[in-house]
Amino acid sequence: MTTKLFWKFTFIAALVLWCYASVSPIQDRPFEDFIQTQVSQDTEAFETLLESGRKRVALGESPTLFIALRDLGRESGINYAEFFPDINLTDIPNRDKRNGILLKYLLSEAQSNLRLGLDLKGGVGFTLKLDETANQSISRFEQTEQLKDAIEIMGGRLDGMGVAEPIIRPVGEDAIEIQIAGLSTKDNPEVIEALKKPARLEFKQVHPTLIPETTAVSDYPVGYEVLTELIEDRRTGEVYELARFVKKIPEATGEIIKSA
């Protein structure tokens, strides 16, 4: 073999190896198996958390292990970053937000870099159409902006349910196509229901003087309910609840908005 041919074969072999590394792993890895391989500290404690998550899924309390771990972190004040010190998230002070980003990152890493479509991998694909009657009085520009907002909302809902990298794109001027490869409506019916749920904008009046902290239950104002707002300290990441009396019946809905 001449030197010229040797270098050609070497170059081709290196190119093939690079291509393989770029798409590796070729197949999705189960989230549970993958996350166990990534834990680098206090593995026994994390295994206990995993077992609690498995029980929630088995009992139907959580649809997936991703959701179970996320909810466990919120309820028990768990800092998942302690189990994955190699993943640097020190710039995110809020624990729950940090947990969400970490779990989402691990879920994404467990997926194959070779993105297979519905025809090869199976899954769910459907189209959502905007309400034509509600859009008759708005301009084409406003309708386009509404479509962008709807895509953002759908992405946020899927992200919160632990769906890794769905395809969400506009179809024409009044519809959205959503493709979720590898998802079964039989095993995950709640995903479809969450996407079909309409986003509601309501304006409710807060009681001008009374607050729940200083009001006896017997003196709660009629027609009001207690709602809490989560306030985050941007410096420390600490989250605390602010309770207020809010009217049950809204003063107005999003229909009063003509432009934004």
What stretches of 145-258 adopt beta strand conformation (E)? 167-171, 175-181, 202-203, 224-232, 239-247, 252-253
Q: Which helix (H) or strand (E) holds 128?
A: strand 123-129
- CATH architecture entry for 118-199: 2-Layer Sandwich (3.30)
Closest CA to 107 of 124, 126, 87, 130: 87
pTM above 0.85, yes or no: no
Structure-block tokens of residue 59: 């009992």
3-state secondary structure of 229: strand
At residue 31, the pLDDT reads 78
Q: Which long-range contacts (CB under 8 A, 24 or more apart) does 193-197 make?
A: 194/157, 194/158, 194/161, 195/128, 195/154, 195/157, 195/158, 196/128
d(CA 95, CA 118): 36
Q: What is the Cα 193 distance to its own chain's centre? A: 15
**Sequence spans of domains, the chain:** 31-110, 118-199, 203-256
The H or E element that residue 85 is part of is: none
CA distance 201 to 81: 35
Residue 165 region by backbone torsions, left for phi larger than 0, else alpha for psi between -120 and 50, else beta: left
Identify the DSSP state of 188.
-
State residue 51's pLDDT score: 92
From first to last of its 260 residues, the chain has per-residue pLDDT tens of: 566 666 666 666 666 565 544 444 556 677 788 888 888 888 898 899 999 999 988 888 887 888 888 888 888 888 988 998 888 887 787 888 888 888 888 887 877 655 555 555 556 777 777 766 655 666 777 777 777 877 787 777 777 666 666 777 887 777 787 777 666 555 555 666 666 666 665 678 888 888 888 888 888 999 898 888 777 776 776 777 788 888 888 765 545 444 43
Backbone angles phi, psi at 81, to 5 degrees: -60, -25
Measured distance CA(219)–CA(207) in Å, rounded: 13
Rg (C-alpha) for the chain, rounded Å, is 24
3-state helix, strand, coil in the chain (%, to 5): 45, 15, 35
Instruction: Tell me which long-range contacts 153-161 makes (C-beta under 8 A, separation of at least 24).
Output: 153/199, 154/128, 154/178, 154/195, 157/194, 157/195, 158/191, 158/194, 158/195, 159/104, 161/63, 161/64, 161/66, 161/67, 161/190, 161/191, 161/194
CB 89 within 8 A of CB 101: yes
Structure-token pair, residue 87 = 């993943």
